[in-house]
Amino acid sequence: MIENWVKKRHATPVSAGPKGRRSAALLAAVLALGLAACSSSPKDDPNSQASLDKLYAEAKEDIAGGSYERAIKSLERIEGRAAGTLMAQQAQLDLAWAYYKSGERAQAVSTLDRFIKLNPSSPAMDYALYMKGVVNFNEDLGLFGRIARQDVTERDQQASRDALQAFRQVVDQFPESRYAEDARVRVDFITNSLADYEVHVARYYFKRGAYVAAANRAQQAMQEFQYAPAVEEALYILTQSYDRLGLAPLRDDAARVLKANFPNSAYLAGGLEARAKNKAWWQFW
């Protein structure tokens, strides 16, 4: 079409005068625009909605099929090309999930933090917070970690604390969210696990004669996780640590609190040895 239009225009010579030069310049500009328009179409534009929709559909298929690395590359391109749109927000969330499923936890958390910072009023905020909790959630804190004989004193608990904070935000800020109920369950699980960890460390210090450190760790467990079952043992360790340190008034105060809150506590009769008699079925040592 452009070629035929050019031939017709060149059948009439253009004057060499000022008016002719202006006509020639105008003709060149029109030709340039026409050629540019014909050289590409909306279908070939990588930033067109059709191209982005196609790329996103391919990314979702890759995620469903477990091809996370390929999905990550596609979603990164979408996030860049569709910046400032709802599609970019969705791509960010899917990207975080793909990172998580591919074992890139740090990248997943970073992506979610960026989403939370840039989209504070997003209707998907509850999901973003919930996903951040899931990414940081450490199931090894519980049954399976102990069966595997992993020493909790050697594990970093920060990820679990980050998960606890994220799940609490879901519960507190979005109580009607579809993710709130599961978040509540996870809050209880992590709270109890972290309390167990603190008491484990307090017990470790006590058995090695580091009574000040044992008392401090037991107090921390009581203050931070006051409703966790592990508080019972924390109180006993605190009582015994004060006794070893010769702090009779503090010892007696801790003992009164223990008796008032756990009148039937096995620790009152059997001490730390009571723990060995009351192991769960899965504790082999």
Helix, strand, coil percentages in the chain from 3-state DSSP, rounded to 5: 75, 0, 25
Structure token digits, residue 33: 């625009």
φ/ψ of 230, rounded to 5, equals -65, -15
DSSP helix/strand/coil, 156: coil
Amino acid at 130: Y
DSSP helix/strand/coil, 88: helix
Is the pLDDT confidence value at 2 over 90?
no
> Which stretch, 44-58, 95-109, 148-162, has highest mean pLDDT?
95-109
pLDDT score of 268: 83
pLDDT averaged over every residue in the chain? 80
Domains in the chain, ordered, with CATH?
49-122 (1.25.40.10), 153-277 (1.25.40.10)
* Percent of the chain clearing pLDDT 90 (strictly above): 61
Of the candidates 90, 100, 88, 98, the residue with the CA atom closest to the CA atom of residue 133: 100
pLDDT score of 117: 95
Higher pLDDT, residue 158 or 130 = 130
Measured CA to CA, the distance from residue 281 to residue 268 in angstroms comes to 23
Q: Would you call 281 exposed, middle or buried from its count of C-beta atoms within 10 A (0-12, 13-18, 19+)?
A: exposed
Measured CA to CA, the distance from residue 21 to residue 104 in angstroms comes to 62
Mean pLDDT of 221-248: 95
User: In angstroms, how far apart are the furthest CA atoms of the chain?
Assistant: 114
Measured CA to CA, the distance from residue 16 to residue 13 in angstroms comes to 9
Measured CA to CA, the distance from residue 263 to residue 174 in angstroms comes to 38
> Where does the pLDDT of residue 272 fall: very low under 50, low under 70, confident under 90, or very high at 90 and above?
low
Is the pLDDT confidence value at 252 over 90?
yes
| Exposure letters 132-164 (e unless 16+ CB within 10 A, then b) | bbbbbbbebbeeebbeeeeebeeeebebbebbb
pTM over 0.85: no
* Percent of the chain clearing pLDDT 70 (strictly above): 72
> Where does the pLDDT of residue 14 fall: very low under 50, low under 70, confident under 90, or very high at 90 and above?
very low
> Which stretch, 2-6, 180-184, 261-265, has highest mean pLDDT?
180-184
pLDDT score of 50: 81
